[in-house]
């Protein structure tokens, strides 16, 4: 295969992989294409957690008349094929069984149960392996997955809405509508793409939020509420058991259906405990929609990867000041029906 086309086929792998967003976590998003003499004869992606991986769907998609071409084809895959038995058999062994002669990989999987083992299986079978094609884009696609396994914590996205004057709530702390209905739909799309959503006590009590993605499609995130003394009234939405909910509290641990209270030591720094707890529960990413206190705690700790700030068209000339990001890099700015949406990344070293 002419290596000059590598990036074209790998870009197609990334396009396919993104179709699995919101459905495959805690697995990574992966796309694969099978190419014979410049023609794609098969393609697939990981569609749902627990179901077939990208390589399997790619091979299955090959038409009967093209199946004899598989051994003479090159498979492109955005992430190193898995080498362990999990919900499904190892994809590296499938490639060997299909006698595919060459595999081109976007990036190596740093997950400890894979990390180079898939490549080793392929090479031991005499398959030619090339790596690091669109490596940066391949890692960025799965930065939640890589952050979780390399830093032993969820990928953290901060989100808030503020007025042009820099306020996010009325002076008494009561909620004020700042963003428009179209932006609300976008926020619910964001929720559908993450495994968890987090607020603090003040937001839980003042807003009585649902924290679901009712204005979009897909699975609701796990609701995470920091509530030391369980001040959130029991008749509020967060206690309704409609979706898995964790109350991080200083009170005794309990479980009632989908709702749990999880004990933490509020006499010690909370965020490290929270990160460990969420890592143990395999929650790969969290959208933090709390009020200024919770948001500022994450910012002060440098514990965030992305921030999305909505500057609404509705006026709020005074009130509760919105957080100020430190060490941030503005990467994108968009307009949505009058609302400005600013996307930031944390400049800290070691980020994906």
Give the DSSP letter string of 137-156: HHHHHTHHHHHHHHHSS-EE
308 is in an annotated binding site: no
- Hunting for tokens 């002060």 — which residue is that? 300
Q: Residue 144 contacts by C-beta under 8 Å, 6 or more apart in sequence? A: 25, 154, 155, 284, 285
CA dist 221 and 260 (Å) reads 15
Helices 292-300 & 270-280 angle (0-180, nearest 10): 90
Told to judge if 258 belongs to the known catalytic residues of this protein, a careful annotator would answer no
Query: Taking the mean position of all CA atoms in its chain, how far away is CA 330?
Result: 20
Catalytic residue among 7, 37, 43, 55, which?
Answer: 55
92 is in an annotated binding site: no
Q: Do residues 289 and 161 touch, judged by C-beta distance below 8 A?
A: no
Which sign, positive or negative, has the C-alpha torsion 292, 294, 295, 297?
positive
107 is in an annotated binding site: no
What 3-state DSSP class applies to 17? helix
Ramachandran assignment for 276, one of left (phi > 0), alpha (psi -120 to 50 degrees), beta (any other): alpha
| End-to-end CA, the chain | 30
198 is in an annotated binding site: no
161 is in an annotated binding site: yes
Q: Over the range 103-113, which residues count as b (16 or more CB within 10 Å of their CB) and which as e? A: bbbbbbbebee
13 is in an annotated binding site: no
203 is in an annotated binding site: yes
Beta bridge mates, 17: none
53 is in an annotated binding site: yes
- Residues taking part in catalysis: 55
Name the binding residues for Zn(2+): 53, 82, 91
Name the binding residues: 53, 82, 91, 161, 191, 203, 207, 211, 214, 289
Name the binding residues for NADP(+): 161, 207
């Amino acid at each position: 295969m002419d290596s000059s086309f590598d990036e074209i086929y790998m870009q197609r792998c990334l396009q396919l992989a993104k179709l699995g967003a919101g459905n495959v976590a805690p697995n990574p998003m992966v796309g694969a294409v099978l190419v014979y003499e410049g023609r794609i004869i098969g393609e697939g992606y990981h569609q749902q957690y627990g179901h077939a991986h990208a390589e399997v769907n790619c091979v299955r998609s090959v038409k009967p008349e093209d199946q004899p071409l598989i051994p003479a084809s090159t498979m492109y895959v955005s992430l190193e094929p898995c080498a362990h038995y999990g919900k499904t058999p190892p994809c590296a062994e499938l490639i060997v069984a299909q006698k595919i002669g060459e595999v081109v990989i976007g990036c190596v999987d740093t997950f400890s149960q894979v990390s180079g083992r898939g490549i080793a299986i392929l090479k031991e079978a005499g398959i030619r392996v090339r790596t690091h094609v669109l490596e940066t884009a391949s890692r960025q696609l799965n930065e939640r997955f890589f952050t979780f396994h390399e830093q032993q914590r969820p990928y953290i996205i901060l989100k808030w809405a503020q007025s042009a004057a820099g306020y996010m709530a009325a002076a008494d702390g009561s909620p004020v509508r700042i963003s428009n209905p179209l932006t609300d739909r976008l926020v619910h799309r964001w929720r559908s793409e993450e495994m968890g959503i987090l607020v603090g006590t003040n937001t839980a009590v003042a807003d009585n939020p649902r924290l679901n993605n009712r204005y979009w499609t897909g699975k609701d995130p796990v609701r995470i509420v920091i509530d030391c003394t369980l001040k959130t009234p029991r008749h509020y939405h967060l206690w309704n058991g409609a979706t898995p909910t964790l109350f991080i509290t200083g009170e005794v641990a309990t479980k009632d259906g989908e709702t749990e209270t999880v004990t933490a030591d509020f006499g010690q720094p909370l965020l490290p405990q929270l990160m460990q707890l969420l890592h143990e529960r395999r929650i790969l990413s969290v959208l933090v929609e709390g009020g200024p206190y919770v948001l500022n705690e994450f910012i002060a700790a440098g514990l965030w990867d992305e921030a999305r700030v909505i500057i609404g068209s509705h006026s709020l000339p005074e009130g509760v000041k919105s957080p100020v990001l430190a060490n941030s890099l503005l990467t994108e700015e968009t307009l949505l029906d009058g609302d400005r949406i600013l996307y930031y990344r944390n400049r800290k070293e070691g980020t994906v």
